Structure 1
Amino acid sequence: MPTSPRLRALAHPIRLRMLSLMWAGPMSAAELARELSIGHGLATQHLRVLDKAGYVELVEIRAKRGGRERRFATVRGTPLSDQAAEGGLPLLVQSLGGAVRDRVPAHRVDRPLLTVDGELWMTPEAYQAAHDDVLAAIERFHAAAVAPHAEGAERVSLTAVAFAMTESVVPDPPEG
């Protein structure tokens, strides 16, 4: 099955970071390049992919040094969940796993940490209630997001994947 352009847009860790950074407010390619320690051209290229896929929107054009600076913001919604529901879960999990691995070295050992993994059996009603609670918590994280390096703010990592499973799929044994 071919991968949709919208899913491919989410499958790159830099683009996932860009979406996270622009959640708190608009940023230009130059601002994203500085924050991500990448070249301006590469930031512009990734931003174009996100814009073409509909994950960001142009929200401001302002004068800057005789030119114009275009600032984009993340489109609100659930693009990761939407793409996973359309068959993109394996690719998204692979990309999210890479993003988490990249963030782990920045873990602050002096701050609370929460990790969880589970393969549980629940009633559909209990699953839906827990799903809604987790979604509400994620919405609180997003609502509290501020611009990178804002005074008093700290960088936080959040990744969540929850889904109901069939009984028939057995995972492949680990290699080695």
Structure 2
Amino acid sequence: MTIGPPKICLTAERDVGKLPNMSLEDEGVQRLRAVAHPVRLQILSLLTGEDMSAADIARALDITQANASYHVRVLARAGQVVETGVEKVRGGRAKKYRYLPGLDEPTGAGGSSSSPPTDEQALVVEAYATELRRRFALRQPGGNVTGTDAELWLEPQVWEQVVELVHQASLLAHTSALPAHSPGALRTSFTSTLFEMRDGLEDA
């Protein structure tokens, strides 16, 4: 999937875990924070196509195993990935993880939310933008590039249909994902961010 950045050594945030009395809103914020990082978006992409351990992720992304382990723990703690089993490795056992399409709804990276905008949502959009720039630099020469950008006024029922169609396209892509470098598979990029805007009258 998304492979190839130079070796990265990131400063880990303090691991505070989930509090026993955490509200659903707090959980939503935690899930957003978990994906608001370009490396974790790359990990989610990898884990969409296959089960992987932290060591597998480290090799695929050319980062340290400690880094990969930290980031996948953040995702797992936020409920963005699930543990699918363990494998025997030299000197012990390694957990394997997977991203399941739809797991992050309604407030995760690929879901929708009716809650007010938050700083965390803005951070996710920034992470999307960072990943999009990296991926676009790796586009296939001569390959098709399909995109759109628009600020439109739509009837509510039309907007609902647009959102549903994009959601279905995302679900199709995610559920059809193959392991990285599978023979005959195309390496692709899919980024979408849809949202309603203020009408602007209150800003006048």
The bucket for the TM-score relative to the shorter chain is 0.7 to 0.9
Q: Which residue of 1 aligns with 2:96?
A: 71
Q: Which residue of 1 aligns with 2:184?
A: 152
Q: Which residue of 1 aligns with 2:52?
A: 27
The unaligned stretches of length 5 or more in structure 1 are 172-176
| C-alpha distance 84-112 of structure 1, shift in aligned 2 (>3 A) | same
Q: What's the CA shift string for 1:131-160, capped at 9, x where partnerless? A: 111111111111221001111112111100
Q: TM-score, normalised by structure 1?
A: 0.87
Contact 1:27 1:73 in 2 (8 A): yes
Q: Which segment drifts farther, 119-128 or 133-142?
A: 133-142
| C-alpha distance 84-94 of structure 1, shift in aligned 2 (>3 A) | farther
Amino acid at match of 2:130: G
Q: Which residue of 1 aligns with 2:136?
A: 104
Shift of 1:109: 2.2
| C-alpha distance 114-169 of structure 1, shift in aligned 2 (>3 A) | farther
Contact 1:57 1:74 in 2 (8 A): yes
- What is the CA–CA distance in structure 2 between the aligned matches of 1:169 and 1:69, rounded to whole Å? 55
- What is the CA–CA distance in structure 2 between the aligned matches of 1:48 and 1:83, rounded to whole Å? 23
| Identical columns (%) | 32
Contact 2:32 2:121 in 1 (8 A): no
Contact 1:7 1:83 in 2 (8 A): no
- From 152, 157, 161, give the equivalent of 2:193: 161
Q: Which residue of 1 aligns with 2:158?
A: 126
- What is the CA–CA distance in structure 2 between the aligned matches of 1:83 and 1:64, rounded to whole Å? 39
Check if 1:80 corresponds to 2:109.
Answer: yes
Check if 1:37 corresponds to 2:66.
Answer: no
Q: What's the CA shift string for 1:12-44, capped at 9, x where partnerless? A: 110111111101221110110111110111000
- What is the CA–CA distance in structure 1 between the aligned matches of 2:70 and 2:189, rounded to whole Å? 25
Contact 2:35 2:109 in 1 (8 A): yes
Shift of 1:65: 2.7
- What is the CA–CA distance in structure 1 between the aligned matches of 2:95 and 2:36, rounded to whole Å? 24
- What is the CA–CA distance in structure 2 between the aligned matches of 1:170 and 1:153, rounded to whole Å? 49
Task: Give 3-state SS (helix, strand or coil) of 2:141's partner.
Answer: coil
Q: Which residue of 1 aligns with 2:7?
A: none
Contact 1:11 1:91 in 2 (8 A): yes
Contact 2:33 2:124 in 1 (8 A): no
- From 20, 26, 39, give the equivalent of 1:14: 39
Amino acid at match of 2:109: L
Amino acid at match of 1:142: H
Check if 1:58 corresponds to 2:58.
Answer: no
Q: TM-score, normalised by structure 2?
A: 0.76
The unaligned stretches of length 5 or more in structure 2 are 1-25
- Let me know the Cα RMSD of the aligned residues: 2.2
- What is the CA–CA distance in structure 2 between the aligned matches of 1:117 and 1:4, rounded to whole Å? 27
How many equivalent residue pairs?
170
